[in-house]
Amino acid sequence: MKKILQKIQSKPMPHPNLVEALSSPPGHSQGPETGPPRDSSKLLGAMGQGDASWQESQGVGNTLNLSPVPGTGNFNVSQVDPSHATPSSSITGPAVLSGASNVNIDGTPNINVAGRDVHNIFSFNYEKEKENLNKKLKEKLNPVINPVKKQIYCAEGTRLQLLNDITQWVLKPDNHYVAWIYGLAGSGKSAVAVSLAERLRKMDSQITLALTFHCVKGQETSNTFQLVPTICYHLAQCNPEYGKAIVDMFEKDASLHAGSIPIREQLSCFLQPLYRMAQTQRTIIIIDGLDEWGKPADQYIFLEHLQSHLQEIGWIYIIVTSRQERDITRAMSNNAIVQSFDLTASYPAHKDIAEYLGMYFSANTADEISKHDIDALTKKAGNLFIWATTAVNYLELGYSLKAGVETLLNAKEKNGVDNIENPHFELYDLYADVLYNLRRIKSKMGIQFFQLVIGFITSAYEPFTVKVLAMMLEQQSQVAIDYSMVDSMIKDLSAVLSIHNGQVFYHLSFAEFLRSEQCPAGFQISQEGCHETLANMCLKVMMKELKFNICKLETSSIRNSEILDLEDRIEQYISPQLQYSAKWWGYHVEKGNCLNATSTSIGELITGSHVILWMECMSLLKKVTEIKINGRKVAVWSRKHKVNKIVGFQKQ
């Protein structure tokens, strides 16, 4: 060792080619190995303890510029701490760099801490890169981040054959890239989708469940332009290589924005990068209630073009649930690609409904319900699980289970409308019974209150908490409303409304009933009237709550994406009712009637400073593209109703 040091001190010598010394012999893999490199003890010994301090005393920079082997990259070590420089023969893995800092190997992240933390830095940089990638994907794709909003599972012991058959298809699809589960509204399609997702998550060693997307009419998940970007975003979470390809695509074309191109182009543009990528196991996507998404023409275009892309990709499979609507049926007609599951013909629910009702009544032994009565109730359900669950909820509200069952069995149609061709006539009769038994809304004011609350819930584009619902309803002047009134109404209607994560939900068939002839006249809901009321509520909220620099930002010189605590500020300063109003007011205006109050409020918004404050709010909410969409919708409404002073809003 002394001889080596004497030679170094007497005559400068080239530093050893460390990369060459660490590289594998010809013909061997260049991949990383565990344990010390071959002859590492000799190599590290040759470098000598105190080598860095000798260089410093001689005025030589404390960086070892180690010449690389061609094709292997540069290796740079600086600031070696002599106190940590003596290696042990048992050093393994990253410990070869013990005591070093500012380590850089071309093609890898920079390491600016002691060599003993090499593994931690690699892990940290990977997570940071993933975080940055997701940030860019969210910004460019504007996906629905958490679309799973339904939590209704199949009752225990029901739908087992259907779930087993779909699971077998997932494992052996035989070139059927799409599974189509179809049936009437209320036949339990969403419950099947939720239960199936639960099964597939437990099969993660065999398949990857990338996304469960529940389309809900009138809400965010029914937005035509967000389904494909949301699918792509969640696929990118499973395949970072694909995520990077999407980001690169946006960076090469600054004019490209996911929400501004047609569905066909979305599919072509964003799915083609997957053609070149392989995956070790199948990836599954569940789309529930596709008939509640977009327009029929959109549904056809989406399914028709998606199928051709799935064939090219080869490892992504889609499960779709829907009603048997004409355009969806037409798109699903290719039996070579689509595997169908008919809930009415192939998987009738009578036995499962009887099982469900039997379990409910057996758990309530105070009043014995005969098998004959259970069979009669099952027959009235007409293959619709929604009838059974609504009936159970209805019975829960009564004092006597037996009396409630008798009421259900003896129920007659409440009007003279011929419902022979309506497969939901028994369900609609049940809904009518629920409404007739609402004792607290018998008065004229009570019915008016019902129409306001239920009209709001069934016409809103997002679900609300009871608190926010009450705050929005306070903006109208027809009925004086407070939280306790709204809360009581929701509880009275628990047979047809449900609460999940604090938000109020309803079944689409109930909303359709309220607008049908079979609904009792006093309870019927006018869709146009509801949207008109909602539009005015939104405009009042915006005029009241929009403010300059609403999130109290310290500077305007940095991008919103660079504000670390922006989400916290939004939660603190932009109320839920303002967030909703800013995003959806134009949608409600377009679908509403034309009242003087509406046109006056719109005029006040767009001719003053509030329109700028609204745009700032939308920017903070990452909804910039929705500014133009709202403008278009207001322009359509103004042309339809010939409100000339608003026609130019879109151009403004």
pLDDT for 170-185, tens place per residue? 999 888 999 999 999 8
Instruction: Indicate the SS3 state at residue 286.
Output: strand
The average pLDDT across 560-579 equals 93
**Is residue 506 domain-resident?**
no
Return the minimum-mean-pLDDT range out of 323-327, 484-488, 500-504, 610-614: 500-504
- Give residue-wise pLDDT tens across range 59-113: 444 444 444 444 444 444 444 444 444 444 444 444 445 455 455 555 455 545 5
Return the minimum-mean-pLDDT range out of 34-43, 98-107, 628-637: 34-43
- Which pLDDT does position 256 carry in this prediction? 87
**Is residue 571 domain-resident?**
yes
Residue 23 in this model has a pLDDT that exceeds 50:
no
Residue 565 in this model has a pLDDT that exceeds 70:
yes
**Is residue 363 domain-resident?**
no
- Which pLDDT does position 91 carry in this prediction? 44
Contacts of 387 (CB under 8 A, 6+ apart): 186, 380, 381, 426, 427, 430
The average pLDDT across 218-228 equals 86
Q: How far apart are CA 65 and CA 14, in angstroms?
A: 10
- Which pLDDT does position 647 carry in this prediction? 57
Decide which of 597 and 567 is more confident. 567
- Which pLDDT does position 77 carry in this prediction? 44
Q: How far apart are CA 190 and CA 624, in angstroms?
A: 32
The average pLDDT across 381-394 equals 92
Residue 389 in this model has a pLDDT that exceeds 80:
yes
Together in a domain, 242 and 329: yes
Q: The CATH number of the domain where 234 resides is what?
A: 3.40.50.300
**Is residue 292 domain-resident?**
yes
- Which pLDDT does position 610 carry in this prediction? 94
Domain residues for the domain of 26 are 2-120
Together in a domain, 244 and 180: yes
The H or E element spanning position 7 is helix 2-10
| β-strands 75-78, 63-66 pairing | antiparallel
Together in a domain, 566 and 652: yes
The average pLDDT across 459-479 equals 87
What does the block give as tokens for 436? 């007739």
- Give residue-wise pLDDT tens across range 258-269: 888 999 999 999
What is the total count of domains within the chain?
Answer: 3
Q: How far apart are CA 129 and CA 107, in angstroms?
A: 14
Q: How far apart are CA 492 and CA 582, in angstroms?
A: 31
- Which pLDDT does position 119 carry in this prediction? 52
Using the CB atoms, write b or e for 158-189: b if 16+ within 10 Å.
Answer: bbeebbeebeebbeebeebbbbbbbbbbbbbb
| β-strands 316-322, 178-182 pairing | parallel
- Which pLDDT does position 260 carry in this prediction? 80
- Give residue-wise pLDDT tens across range 433-463: 999 888 777 788 888 889 999 999 999 998 8
- Which pLDDT does position 280 carry in this prediction? 86
Q: In the structure, what pLDDT confidence band is assigned to residue 123 with cuts at 50, 70 and 90?
A: low
Together in a domain, 88 and 214: no
Within 10 angstroms of residue 628's Cβ, the number of other Cβ atoms is 13
Beta-carbon-side half-sphere exposure of residue 548 (alpha carbons within 13 Å): 4
Together in a domain, 70 and 204: no
The average pLDDT across 393-400 equals 85
**Is residue 319 domain-resident?**
yes
The average pLDDT across 348-376 equals 87
**Is residue 270 domain-resident?**
yes
* Sign of the torsion angle spanned by Cα atoms 225, 230, 233, 238: negative
Decide which of 31 and 215 is more confident. 215
Contacts of 332 (CB under 8 A, 6+ apart): 178, 180, 303, 320, 338, 340
Together in a domain, 197 and 331: yes
**pLDDT mean across residues, the chain:** 81
Q: In the structure, what pLDDT confidence band is assigned to residue 130 with cuts at 50, 70 and 90?
A: confident
Out of 318, 342, 366, a domain closes at 342
- Which pLDDT does position 61 carry in this prediction? 46
What is the rounded (10 degree) CA torsion for 509, 514, 520, 521?
A: -160
Out of 342, 362, 378, a domain closes at 342
Residue 37 in this model has a pLDDT that exceeds 70:
no
- Which pLDDT does position 95 carry in this prediction? 47
* Of the ranges 134-143, 476-485, 607-616, the best mean pLDDT one: 607-616
Within 10 angstroms of residue 579's Cβ, the number of other Cβ atoms is 21
Q: How far apart are CA 450 and CA 521, in angstroms?
A: 13
Q: Which of 425, 441, 442, 384 is nearest to 518 (CA)?
A: 425
CB-CB contact of 423 with 463 (8 Å): no
Together in a domain, 221 and 82: no
Together in a domain, 183 and 242: yes
Together in a domain, 167 and 114: no
Together in a domain, 194 and 333: yes
| β-strands 178-182, 338-342 pairing | parallel
What SS3 string covers 615-647?
HHHHHHCCCHHHHHHHHHHHHHHHHHCCCHHHH
Out of 342, 371, 397, a domain closes at 342
**Is residue 88 domain-resident?**
yes
CB-CB contact of 232 with 213 (8 Å): no
Together in a domain, 200 and 88: no
Express as a percent the part of the chain with pLDDT over 70: 77
- Which pLDDT does position 54 carry in this prediction? 40
- Give residue-wise pLDDT tens across range 233-273: 999 999 999 999 999 999 999 888 888 899 999 999 999 99
- Which pLDDT does position 100 carry in this prediction? 52
Q: Which of 393, 392, 534, 385 is nearest to 454 (CA)?
A: 534
- Which pLDDT does position 587 carry in this prediction? 94
**Is residue 227 domain-resident?**
yes
Together in a domain, 255 and 179: yes
